[in-house]
Structure formats: structure tokens, C-alpha cells
Chain A
Amino acid sequence: MKHAFLTAALTAMALSFGTNAVHAQTKEIKLGCYAPLTGQLAIFGKSMQQGFEMAIDEFQKSPKANAIKFTIQCEDDQGRADDGINIARKFIEDKTVVAVLGSWSSTVTLAAGPIYNQARMVNITPISSHPDVTKVGPYVFRQSLVQSQEGAFNGDALWKLGARKIAVIGIPNDYGIANTSLTKKAFETKGGKVVFEEMVRPDAQDFRQTLQKAARENPDYIYIGAFAPQAALMLKQLRQMGIKTPVYLCAALDTPDLARLAGADAVEGARVTVQTNPVLSPELADFYNRFNARFGRAPDPFAANSYNTAMMLMSIAAAQHPNVTRESIRKGLDDIRSFDGIFGKIKFDPATREWEFKLMQGVIQDGSTKVVQ
């Protein structure tokens, strides 16, 4: 009896080796991913992960996949630098991983980036927008809107709206500080004046004191550089206090989460910088529909960016088949000059190693963004 079982098991094993051999030409390429999947930032990390997974499934079905089977392994960094570093060491040890996507937070990417750079493995972030990310080294890339580009756009947009005095409210992390200070700089270069500026605690739930102080300076616009949970509370509280000062929102706030959390009334009429909205292109609109059908919710900018970056990484790898290595991916990313994805054709500047995105100004009406101009 024992022998019969053993024979059966061995036969099964032999058969499974046999079937593997048939697919020998199918090469498997594994990508790593690190993002905050638990903890306070999990809402953003989940968007990234969904964007990556959708990209992999769709790319796999397209003819471009070139007989390569792509897989992704997502690790949770909880938004913490030390976890990001540990994950980096793990991915570097795993020789089947050819490149790593992530993270969400600039703080984590800036900590893990040097580890990848030293090990000569590509780390590309679709989100982290701190100016220093691409300065870490030749193996650290990003494909996301950079703060300097958004800041210049915001300053210009505010000026063109007729604003001469603005109040600036942000959150004190790498994102909020870079976003508000570069917007402020661009607006001041135009000749505008920042009459009030304050960083608020991201975990607070009452921002009325700050908002009332901002309104007292009679600004033409209040600029908010924060994420949806804080901005939603601010917009609700502005309405609650009867403050009628118009509001301009940073690009990260062009997300369905804002109207969901604040309610359509509170966001009505707010101006916002638009980068990933479905109104921008048929490709984006189509992406929105597919994402919605799959996950039952509209994608935010983080999901859209993650999808686009993963698509680019896979098309580089697929084109190099069968000679895909960690080094070849780095070269592919260095040599690329443009990528045609859901944002239309975006260009890579090899001098700054940054991508240039198309930005538009939007106004929120009936809970959704309409592009103006």
C-alpha cells in the first residue's frame, strides 16, 4: 500500500516535470512591489497594488506580452522607511526579481532607493514626487508628476484665475511641503502674494481654526495641498463656517474620494489641477471604466499612475525578451524617450530623468470634475 502511494506520487511528479518542459519557451519575469498595504496609508497602497495587478493581467493578454509570464510580488512597507529597506534587501536577494515598483511615500522611496541603486536593480516609483527621488542614483527612476511641474502649473493657474493674494494650507510631510512651497514660489514669481501659510496635522479632524485664520486675511483663493481625508474635512468645515473664499486644490485631490468624503455640496465649485481624470482622454476614460468594472470603484490618481508605470516597465521587458536582466531594464528605462499609455504620449527628459505630464485645470461640479479652458 505504502509503495503504491509512493509510486503514484513519483509518477505525478514526473508528469508535472514533463508538462513544465513543454512550456520551456515561456519565460517568467517577476516584478517586486512595495507599498503601504496596512496602516494609515493603506488606502493609497491598495490603489497602487490594484493598478499594478490590473496592468499585469491586461498586459499578459495583449500580444505585446511576447510569451513572457509576468508576475508581481507586493510587500507591505506600512509607509515606514525601515520596512522599505528590509523589503529592498529581500528583493535584491531574490534573483528572479528583475525590477521593483514602489513606494507610495517619498520618505520610504528615498530610504530604500539607495539600497536598490547599490545592488544595481531598478526601483521605479509611480507616485513618490519628492524632488530628490531621481537624484538617488542611476537605478532609481520615477514616472509621476513632479512637484516642480505641478507647482509651476498651479501658480500660473491661480494667477490666470485673477488671484493676487492667496492663503496656502498643506500637510507637513514630503509631499505637502514640496507641493505647497513650489506652488507658492511659482505664484510669487508671477507677482502674487501669499498672505497666509500654515501646515496642519494630517491626523487632526478639526481644521476650523486654521481656516478661519486664513479667511481673515481676505485671500482671493485658498490653496490646499493635502490628501483627500484632510481636504474633505477642510471643505466641509469651510462650508459649515460660511466662508465663501474660493478654493484651489492640488492634483492629488482630483480623486473621487474627495466628493465621497466631503459630499457634493462642499466640493462644488472648487478648482483643481487635473492629471489623471477620465475627462482628459478617451484612453483614461476607458481605463476608468475597466478599473470600475474590476474593483467596483473609480480609480484615484495613484491607481492610474501605478497602472501606467507597470505597463511601461512590462513593455520594456517584453521587447528585450529573451535577454531580460536587471541591467537591461535599467538601460531600457534610460533609453526610452516617450511612452504612449493611458495618459496619451508622455515624454521623458533624459537630462532631468523626469516625465512630463499633461496638466489641465478643472472645476468640480455636481461631484465630478469638468476641465476648463
Chain B
Amino acid sequence: MDAFVLGQLAIGVSVGMTYSIVAIGLTLIYRVLSAANFAHGEVYTIGAFTTLIGATTLQLPLWAIALLVLAVGAAFGWGIERAAFRPFRKFTDEASLKSRAVREATLLSSFALGMIVREALDQVYHGEWLAIPQEFLLNEPVALGSVTVSVGEMVIASVSIAMLLALQMLLYRTRIGIAIRAVSSNLVGAQFSGIDINRVIVAVFIVGSLLGAVAGMVLSLAYGNVQSFMGLTVVIKAFVAMVIGGLTSLPGAVIAGILIGLAESSAGIFLPSAWTEMVAYAMLLLTLLLMPQGLFGRRRS
């Protein structure tokens, strides 16, 4: 293949990976609650800002920044569940737990929480673009045959795959994983078999948000710029990846993210790149029309 085309497709895969890495945490939460966490974009933003503060104000080494990001992400996840999801699970009867009204309410409450966080960050930082210090950046070029990639892209790819594998291990090899899957497949049934569903849901939010914050860290180190609105653009693509991947499938979301990136870059070879923004949404529409369960979705009752 032409080196130019190969280069363009490589960019597509790497951009797609950025959608995937954000989609993982989002999909995990959807899988359990059948509700989208619209504050996930801000989880990602918080991860990026924590990285920035760790690298500048606190002058921490990279490993300590990573620990801080994990802690902040986990705490924020717990906070989202407490503030935007838990209050709507007041009643534990089957009808309320499965109610559409509750799902719609949490969609709006998480959206509101995300807006509050975004606007607060905007007030503190005045919408300013902030730079991660150069020595932390992962943008050294690496030549792979005729294609040049950066260290950051390889880190994004490895972290996504590591997240995916770790989550699969967690879901299929641990006790809490069994509980999560039980809650995910039948909330009421899980409750009747003695599972503390609130504990499981909190765990899911902590894990999902921790992964979202790590995505924010890795992407801010790869691109170098941090801003209060950064979560918005990225999370919309992650939503699309989640839906195309089948809403509940973690590998599905990752693969769909890469496919979206590839489709965008393939279109970009022929079209001005600003037009390729439509590609992801065209794919979303086609998926909803032709394959409502997505690429890897399970049929739901």
C-alpha cells in the first residue's frame, strides 16, 4: 500500500484508540445500569487537570501523578454515583428499579453534574488552554517501517488494551465481577440473591471513572493541552463508539472506536478533514437503522 495511505490509516487507528479509551469506562457503567453517565466527559477532563496539577503545582514524578489520577478518578466516580444516580434509586421494588423514568432522570442528572463541573473549571481557569510541561509529554516520534507513530500513540494503545484485559479479568475472575455481572443481567434477581446492589453500583462507578480519569491522563500527556471543555468533543465520540459497539460490550466499544477512527481517516483522504466529522454520526445512524443491537450487542428484554 502507498505510504501516504498507510500513514493516513495509521492516524485513523490512533485517533480511534482515543475514542476507545474513553468509551471503556462509559460502557462499563452502561452495562450495569442501562443508563448513560453523561458526566463521563468531565471525569476525563478531571483526569487531565489532575495530571496538569500533579505535573506543575505539585511537581510530582509520573508514577505519583498516576496514583493521584486514580485516586481522584475513583473519588469523583463515587461522587457522581452519590449525587446523580443513588438519589433516584429510593425504592428497591422491581418496577422502580427497571423504570424508564429513573433511567431518564439519571441521564439528566449526570448531564447536569457534568455541566456544573465543566462550568466550575471554566470559572477557575477562565477557559484557558493550559500546557502539560514538555518533559512529561509523550510525543517523541518512533519509525515503524514507512509509518511514523509517537510514543504517546503506543501508550494510548497499550493502556486501552491493558484496561480492557484488566476489566475482563475483573468481570470474569473475581467475586465482585460475578456480582457486577449479576446486577448487570438482572438487578432485581441480584438483589434477591443477597447481593448488595448499592455496593456493586458504587464499585462500578469507581472503576469506570478511574478508567475515564486514566484516559484523560494518557491523552493529555499525548496531546499536551488541557482545557475545561476538552471532555465534550471526546465523550461524544466515545458515546458513538459505545452505541456502535453494542452498548454493553467492552471489546465492542474498543473495536467500534477504532473503526470510527479508521472510517474518518479513510474519508479524510478524499474529503477536507472538517467534513469527516460527519462520518461517525453517519455510522451511528446506519448502525441504529440496520443493526439496532450494534456490532457486538446482546439482545435485551
A interface with B by C-beta (< 8 Å):
37-43, 46, 172, 198-201, 203-210, 212-213, 216, 228-229, 232-233, 236, 239-242, 257, 260-265
Contacts and interface: CB of A to CB of B under 8 A. Distances in A.
B233 A209 contact: no
A216 B123 CA distance: 42
B131 A40 contact: no
Interface string B263-295: 001001100111011000000000000000000
A203 B233 contact: yes
A205 B139 CA distance: 14
Q: Which of A236, A239, A257 has the most CB of B within 10 A?
A: A236
Contacts of A210: 268, 273
Pairs A-B, 8 closest by C-beta atoms: A42-B127, A229-B129, A263-B134, A43-B128, A209-B268, A210-B273, A42-B126, A261-B131
Nearest to A257: B129
Contacts of B11: 206, 208-209, 212
Contacts of B7: 212
Given A199-B274, A229-B225, A38 B123 contact: yes
B127 A38 contact: yes
Interface string B133-145: 0100101110000
Interface in B162-216: none
B57 to A, nearest CB: 15
Q: Which of B8, B129, B148, B233 has the most CB of A within 10 A?
A: B129
Contacts of A242: 141, 148
B274 A232 contact: no
A77 to B, nearest CB: 13
B121 to A, nearest CB: 11
9 contacts: A43-B128, A43-B129, A203-B233, A209-B11, A210-B273, A212-B8, A228-B129, A240-B140, A241-B141
Contacts of B272: 198-199
A72 to B, nearest CB: 18
B128 A42 contact: yes
A43 B233 CA distance: 19
Interface of B: 4, 7-8, 11-12, 14-15, 18, 119, 122-123, 126-129, 131, 134, 137, 139-141, 148, 150, 223-225, 227, 229-230, 232-233, 265, 268-269, 272-274, 276-277
Given A201-B274, A229-B227, A216 B265 contact: no
Contacts of A261: 129, 131, 224-225
Given A209-B11, A209-B265, A257-B129, A241 B148 contact: yes
A216 B4 contact: yes
Given A40-B127, A216-B4, A263-B224, 9 more contacts: A39-B127, A42-B126, A42-B127, A43-B126, A198-B273, A203-B229, A213-B269, A232-B131, A264-B134
A216 B134 CA distance: 28
Contact of B229 (A40, A236, A262): A40
A234 to B, nearest CB: 12
B108 to A, nearest CB: 22
B273 A232 contact: no
A262 B131 CA distance: 8
Contacts of A206: 11, 14-15, 18, 223
A104 to B, nearest CB: 12
B277 to A, nearest CB: 6
Nearest to B224: A236
Nearest to B265: A209
A181 to B, nearest CB: 15
Contact of B122 (A39, A209, A216, A229): A39
A198 B229 CA distance: 24
Nearest to A237: B139
B47 to A, nearest CB: 15
B277 A201 contact: yes
A217 to B, nearest CB: 11
B141 A240 contact: yes
Contacts of B129: 43, 228-229, 232, 257, 261
Contacts of A42: 122, 126-128
A204 B230 CA distance: 9
Given A42-B126, A209-B268, A198 B274 contact: yes
Contacts of A232: 129, 131, 224-225
Contacts of B119: 38
B5 to A, nearest CB: 10
B225 A205 contact: yes
Contacts of B141: 239-242
A241 B139 CA distance: 9
Contact of B4 (A203, A212, A239): A212
A206 B12 CA distance: 10
Contacts of A260: 131
Nearest to B140: A240
Contact of B273 (A209, A236, A257): A209
A209 B263 CA distance: 13
Contact of B233 (A200, A204, A240): A204
Contacts of B232: 203
Nearest to A169: B273
Nearest to A203: B233
